Amino acid sequence: MPEDVVIAGGGPNGLMLACELGLAGVRALVLEREPELVQRNRANGLIGQVVRLLDRRGLHQRLSGTPEPPQPFPAFVFGGFPLPLAELDDNPLYGLGVPQHRIEQVLEERAIELGTEIRRGHELTGLSQDDEAVTAEITGPDGDYRLRTRFLVGADGGRSTARKLAGIDFPGVSRENVVSRLAHVTVPGDLLDERTGGLDLPGAGLVPPFLHHRTERGVFTFAPFPDRPWIVSTMEWDPDADDQTPMTLAELRASVHRVLGADLPLQPADSGHLRRVIGGNTRIAERYRERRVLLVGDAAHVHSAVGGPGLNLGLQDAVNLGWKLAAELRGWAPPGLLDSYESERRPVAERVVMHTQAQSALLSPGPEITGLRELFGELLQNRDNVQHIADTMSGADVRYDIGDAHPLIGRWAPDLQVDTSAARPLLLDATGTLAEAAAGWSDRVDVVAVRSGLPAASMLLRPDCYIAWASDSPDQDSLREALTRWFGVSRGS
């Protein structure tokens, strides 16, 4: 018998997909080429809607280490501009400062609890497919082998082997003239400003923490994390940067001097992490599915990391795909459900590409960019514009094009005191009249009677917490239509 799902890639996106499949009763097999969990950080936390989603799955407390609910950031940054989020009536930019290796650790633990098998040191090297299954060729510690799986999901990053083997093009643009340098460091205490936590650097003035500090020569960022190594990074536009030699701390010091016009004495932190990245890519896969091969996360899209949207985008890809793939495997998916993964998630990726490109442009050198920044700064004096940017960065503005019978349909469900950790569809009924209409779907949909607090009389939530149906009256006919559209025909039909 073939496996149900093989996931190539055991990073956050692949592990999140494995968790979602496990919640739906589907056992996944994850292939991860790294022999053990990588400790180096590629991301420093989570922002946006995904923070609340993880809370709804019961994972926020595991990640944060506290019982406190998710909290929005009081301030953030867009293209080097501070965003005064605390001034907003509805601040959607939730955040969780957890390093990526901890995110992967928690998701791996949860995936294993849900029955996932994780094979470390195993790498996808080839595939072929027919109408019934995918044959995956794999290299492991004990040699090469093959296995059959009904579906294979590429969650193996921007250089995705799964995407290449499936013959899916990855169009977009590459930039070769941007050089980013980063290191974990210590900074002399007498340079720290006690009031702001920033750097009071002779020759450069006060440089605030956790912001992209732009000059005409580049960008400087200083991140004094309270519970882990501090980070200093720079971004320069240098087409002649050397990528043949290892990065050094002296190289970063020289880059800081060029950007700020001042010397910053740096010493390595205990981790000694140094990284240089030359160039960057902005690309979206030509398609997210090739028959029985699907893509999530960076395998489907890559973009600038400015603003930190990557995990918000990729993890929600996984949640969108998970329940749809499980429905296909369990035999109740209506026609076209699995294809709706791409039609819903591609526009979100395109929007992330748009705002990360806009931020990169605002950080670029040149007097014309300085003029643009002056105008943009004026626009940010308008609270509505700040709200618009916060909604865009967080994903709070996402509305799937799945119907317009009610203004709530296609939107993220509001925060409710309802348990969604089981990742099942929920019919929230404040009328007390809809349980019988939904009885034919009771093996797939849970009915929850609520007294009040809904923005509509009743709502049908998909497992990814988006609203599939809403009504201000007990409309049983339209409810049955929505149940059939999203969760297949009722039992006995």
Q: How do the pLDDT tens digits run along the chain, 493 residues long? A: 899 999 999 999 999 999 999 999 999 999 999 999 887 667 778 999 999 999 999 999 999 999 999 999 999 999 999 999 999 999 999 999 898 999 999 999 999 999 999 999 999 999 999 999 999 999 999 999 999 999 999 999 999 999 999 999 999 998 888 999 999 998 888 898 888 888 998 888 899 888 899 999 999 999 888 877 889 999 998 767 777 888 899 999 999 999 999 999 998 887 678 889 888 899 999 999 999 999 999 999 999 989 889 999 999 999 999 999 999 999 999 999 999 999 999 999 999 999 999 999 999 999 999 999 999 999 999 999 999 999 999 999 999 999 889 999 999 998 877 888 899 999 999 999 999 999 999 999 999 998 877 889 999 999 999 999 999 988 899 999 999 999 999 987 7
Interatomic CA distance for residues 125 and 137, integer angstroms: 5
SS3 readout for 94-150: EEECCCHHHHHHHHHHHHHHCCCEEEECCEEEEEEECCCCEEEEEEECCEEEEEEEE
Tokens 């509001």: give the residue: 414
At 351 the three-state DSSP class reads helix
Q: Are 460 and 468 in contact (CB under 8 A)?
A: yes
- pTM of the predicted structure, to 2 decimals: 0.94
